């Protein structure tokens, strides 16, 4: 059974799709956070600009990093629940419903 | 507001605290009857749902230090406090994308299980447990010392008594109730903390007609426009990058967090639980940010710094100003509950590294029956708990702030790289893992000693030898490089062959426990 799984194109495709999604989302998170840090380090003036009354650009940006991080985990979980789990189920069924 | 009852035991504070203790001890009694096997002691019998574990993860992570500390930082420094709050959240997506599911599928009780999956058991478990234990101990000392000081500030209880009360309760939860009791303590604490913080934010916003702009106007009128702009926290970009790496990858290497993924039945629940946890923690930091601004507006810097220079009492003072003695008592009891829950989680993670990895994995070479392992885990819990009490008292009055930063640096540099490479890299070898763990550990510790954090702030030398405050940028990358180079220099046929089996189990969960 082990050989069967390893040889099956379904399994290879499963591993590849999951690694791709994980990699893309990890990169997005790294860009999001370190982009924020670098913006603070190199362009404080931009973040310090007022956009609405006393509210500066930095406030929605900082809160936005928190919310977007959560949204990214949501995208991952949604993809896994809808797509990944289906694929796993198919591979398991092919093997005689283990 | 001129008078505060802060620093004196109040009736409501004591009543809320006793209610919490009674409820958690009852849960411990209930859990004790369901804690006999190793799977029950370490992993609550894998009976926790995704949502419950999400709350418990949040409970493990949201410490009193981060609640009171970040609210205080925001109240005094304004926008700069938000930068910290963001840093503490961004590790969670990394846990979701890379770690949670493989960890759940491959391991049993500790993250060392995963690293040792296809490598040589004894050297790996020794190294991984060392990394885990040092992370846990540093974090535990920082929490205990913080607990003693905070409880003294809030209730006026002597430092040593506070430490002993916290220590005894945490030992009771873990020793008798294992992971099941610890999980429910975390869940209750998380609900209380999120509920209390939400209520406080509603009271703040009520003062400003539920309009954030009014709140920001108030603080900028008082403290100037600088208060809502990034200030002096990030001067050196490299320093910021290094701290960022420690916070981000350290979260994904904290043993007490990783251990929680074994409490759910499968990888799907594990993945759901991190999604919930990230949401709760993100929401919590947004609340904390608002509380900081609320305290700056409604309590004011003068009173906040009079009570505690670091601003740690900003949130309790605000609670008293808006909700009177009753709300202060409630919030103080919540802070106490928060401390208890975090130290209990840490103790359990530390004890499992000792009993599951060192005693059973290394000394007994993996051969020990259930009863013996549970007994070993309980003895380890007791020893670690007593050690935490002693260290908490020994470190009284010491500057332990660096310990949290160091714990995160070690988690990011010793624990995370080995865990990550063992999951994803076929050619990773035992030697590579062992060297990666020890070099990450040694680099973190050595560099933090000669960094401004210890060399200047504690040892009082004029100029630091290593320029950055947090060593992670060197130790994290160094650990990866060492692990890769050593793996290339050594080959391990057996480990390479087993990688395919690991892949099947990691990706589709066949054979997972």
DSSP string, B131-157: HHHHHHHHHHHHHHHHHHHHHHHHH--
Query: Where residue B400 falls among pLDDT bands split at 50, 70, 90?
Result: confident
Report chain A residues whose CB lies below 8 A from the CB of B275: 70, 73-74, 76-77
**Is A14 a member of any domain?**
no
Rounded to 5, what percent of chain B is helix, strand, coil?
80, 0, 20
Q: What is the model's pLDDT at position A98?
A: 46
Q: Is the CB of B222 inside 8 Å of chain A's CB atoms?
A: no
Q: Is the pLDDT of residue B99 over 60?
A: yes
Query: Where residue B2 falls among pLDDT bands split at 50, 70, 90?
Result: low
If we measure between CA atoms, which residue out of B115, B313, B289, B307 comes closest to residue B205? B289
As a whole number, mean pLDDT of residues B215-243 equals 89
Q: Which two tokens stand for residue B503?
A: 């892949």
Q: Is the pLDDT of residue B481 over 90?
A: yes
- The beta-carbon neighbor of B216 closest among A11, A47, A55 is A55
**Token pair 């051969």 in the structure block, residue:** B367
End-to-end CA separation in angstroms for chain B: 57
**Is A9 a member of any domain?**
no
Q: Which two tokens stand for residue B99?
A: 């770690």
Average pLDDT over chain B, rounded to an integer: 94
Query: Where residue B236 falls among pLDDT bands split at 50, 70, 90?
Result: confident
Give buried/exposed letters for B432-462 (b at 16+ CB in 10 A, else e).
Answer: bbbbbbbbbbebbbebbbbbbbbbeeeeeee
Contact criterion met (CB < 8 Å) for B220 and A54: yes
**Is A6 a member of any domain?**
no
Helices of type H across A43-57: 44-48
- Spatial neighbors of B318 by CB under 8 A, at least 6 apart, are B200, B204, B291, B294, B295, B298, B299
Instruction: Please give the Cα distance from A72 to A78 (Å, whole number).
Output: 10
Q: Is the pLDDT of residue B218 over 70?
A: yes
Report chain B residues whose CB lies below 8 A from the CB of A67: 282
Question: Taking the CA of residue B54 as centre, how many other CA atoms within 13 Å lie in the half-sphere pointing to its CB?
Answer: 20
Q: How many domains does chain A have?
A: 1
- The beta-carbon neighbor of B90 closest among A33, A38, A53 is A33
A 10 A CB-CB count for B208 gives 18
The interface residues of chain B toward chain A in range 80-119, judged by CB-CB distance below 8 A, are: 82-83, 85-87, 89-90, 92-94, 96-98, 101
Q: Please, are residues B240 and A41 in contact by the beta-carbon 8 Å criterion? A: yes
Q: Is the pLDDT of residue B272 over 80?
A: yes
Q: Please, are residues B145 and B393 in contact by the beta-carbon 8 Å criterion? A: no
Q: What is the model's pLDDT at position B114?
A: 97
Q: Is the CB of B211 inside 8 Å of chain A's CB atoms?
A: no
Pairwise pLDDT comparison (B255 vs B64), residue with the higher score: B255
Closest-CA residue of chain B to A63 = B286
Contact criterion met (CB < 8 Å) for B509 and A98: no
Q: Is the pLDDT of residue A89 over 80?
A: yes
The CATH number of B11-407 is 1.20.1730.10
Q: Is the pLDDT of residue B48 over 90?
A: yes
Q: Please, are residues B385 and B391 in contact by the beta-carbon 8 Å criterion? A: no
Q: Which domain holds residue A64?
A: 22-94
The interface residues of chain A toward chain B in range 44-73, judged by CB-CB distance below 8 A, are: 44, 47-48, 50, 52-56, 58-59, 62-63, 65-67, 69-70, 72-73
Q: How far is CA B496 from CA A14, B118, B350, in A?
A: 20, 8, 30
DSSP string, B350-376: HHHIIIIIIIIIIISTT---HHHHHHH
**Is A5 a member of any domain?**
no
Predicted ipTM beyond 0.90: yes
Select from A11, A28, A41 the residue whose CB has the most chain B CBs within 10 Å, as the one to mutate to test that interface.
A41
Closest-CA residue of chain B to A76 = B97
Contact criterion met (CB < 8 Å) for A25 and B93: yes
DSSP string, A66-88: HHHHHHHHHHHHHHIIIIIHHHH
Q: Is the CB of B406 inside 8 Å of chain A's CB atoms?
A: no
**Token pair 């935490």 in the structure block, residue:** B388
- The beta-carbon neighbor of B507 closest among A18, A48, A58 is A18
**Is A47 a member of any domain?**
yes
Instruction: Please give the Cα distance from B169 to B190 (Å, whole number).
Output: 18
Closest-CA residue of chain A to B279 = A70
Closest-CA residue of chain B to A57 = B229
Closest-CA residue of chain A to B85 = A66
Query: Where residue A96 falls among pLDDT bands split at 50, 70, 90?
Result: low
**Is A81 a member of any domain?**
yes
Q: Give the distance from CA B107 to its chain's centroid.
A: 21
Give buried/exposed letters for B331-353 (b at 16+ CB in 10 A, else e).
Answer: bbbbbbbbbbbbbbbbbbbbbbb
Q: What is the model's pLDDT at position B280?
A: 98
The interface residues of chain B toward chain A in range 269-328, judged by CB-CB distance below 8 A, are: 271-272, 274-275, 278-279, 282, 285-286, 289
């Amino acid at each position: 059974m082990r050989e069967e799984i390893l040889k099956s194109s379904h399994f290879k495709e499963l591993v590849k799709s999951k690694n791709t999604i994980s990699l893309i989302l990890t990169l997005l998170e790294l860009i999001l956070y370190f982009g924020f840090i670098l913006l603070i380090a190199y362009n404080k003036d931009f973040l310090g600009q007022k956009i609405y009354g006393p509210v500066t650009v930095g406030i929605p940006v900082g809160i936005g990093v928190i919310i977007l991080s959560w949204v990214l985990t949501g995208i991952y979980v949604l993809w896994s629940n809808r797509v990944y789990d289906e694929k796993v189920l198919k591979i398991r069924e092919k093997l005689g419903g283990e | 507001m001129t008078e505060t009852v802060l620093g004196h035991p109040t009736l409501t504070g004591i009543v809320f605290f006793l209610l919490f203790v009674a409820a958690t001890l009852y849960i411990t009694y209930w859990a004790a009857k369901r804690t006999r096997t190793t799977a029950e002691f370490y992993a609550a019998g894998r009976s926790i749902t995704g949502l419950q574990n999400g709350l418990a993860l949040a409970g493990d992570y949201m410490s009193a230090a981060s609640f009171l500390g970040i609210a205080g930082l925001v109240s005094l420094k304004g926008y700069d406090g938000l930068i910290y709050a963001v840093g503490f959240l961004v590790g969670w997506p990394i846990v979701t994308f890379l770690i949670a599911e493989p960890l759940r599928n491959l391991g049993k009780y500790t993250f060392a299980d995963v690293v040792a999956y296809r490598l040589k058991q004894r050297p790996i478990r020794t190294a991984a447990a060392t990394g885990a234990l040092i992370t846990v101990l540093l974090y535990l000392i920082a929490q205990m010392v913080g607990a003693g000081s905070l409880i003294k500030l809030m209730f006026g209880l002597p430092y040593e008594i506070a430490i002993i009360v916290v220590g005894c309760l945490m030992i009771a939860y873990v020793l008798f109730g294992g992971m099941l009791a610890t999980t429910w303590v975390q869940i209750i604490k998380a609900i209380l903390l999120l509920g209390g913080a939400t209520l406080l934010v509603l009271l703040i916003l009520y003062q400003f007609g539920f309009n954030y702009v009014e709140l920001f106007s108030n603080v900028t009128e008082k403290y100037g426009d600088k208060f809502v702009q990034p200030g002096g926290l990030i001067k050196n970009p490299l320093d910021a990058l290094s701290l960022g790496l420690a916070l981000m990858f350290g979260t994904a290497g904290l043993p007490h967090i990783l251990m929680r993924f074994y409490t759910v039945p499968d990888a799907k629940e594990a993945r759901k639980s991190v999604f919930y946890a990230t949401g709760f923690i993100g929401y919590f930091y947004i609340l904390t940010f608002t509380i900081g601004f609320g305290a700056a507006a409604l309590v004011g810097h003068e009173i906040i710094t009079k009570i505690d220079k670091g601003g740690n009492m900003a949130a309790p003072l605000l609670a008293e100003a808006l909700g009177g003695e009753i709300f202060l008592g409630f919030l103080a009891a919540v802070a106490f509950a928060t401390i208890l829950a975090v130290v209990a989680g840490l103790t359990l993670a530390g004890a499992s590294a000792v009993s599951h990895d060192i005693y059973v994995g290394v000394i007994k070479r993996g051969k020990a029956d259930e009863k013996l392992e549970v007994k070993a885990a309980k003895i380890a819990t007791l020893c670690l708990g007593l050690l935490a009490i002693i260290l908490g008292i020994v470190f009284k009055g010491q500057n332990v702030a660096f310990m949290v930063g160091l714990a995160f640096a070690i988690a990011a540099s010793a624990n995370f790289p080995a865990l990550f490479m063992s999951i994803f890299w076929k050619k990773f070898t035992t030697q590579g893992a062992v060297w990666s763990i020890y070099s990450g550990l040694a680099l973190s510790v050595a560099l933090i000693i000669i960094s401004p954090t210890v060399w200047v702030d504690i040892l009082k030398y004029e100029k630091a030898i290593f320029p950055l405050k947090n060593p992670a940028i060197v130790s994290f990358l160094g650990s990866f490089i060492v692990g890769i180079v050593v793996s290339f220099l050594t080959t391990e046929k057996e480990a390479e062959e087993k990688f395919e089996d690991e892949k099947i189990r990691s990706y589709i969960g066949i054979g997972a426990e």
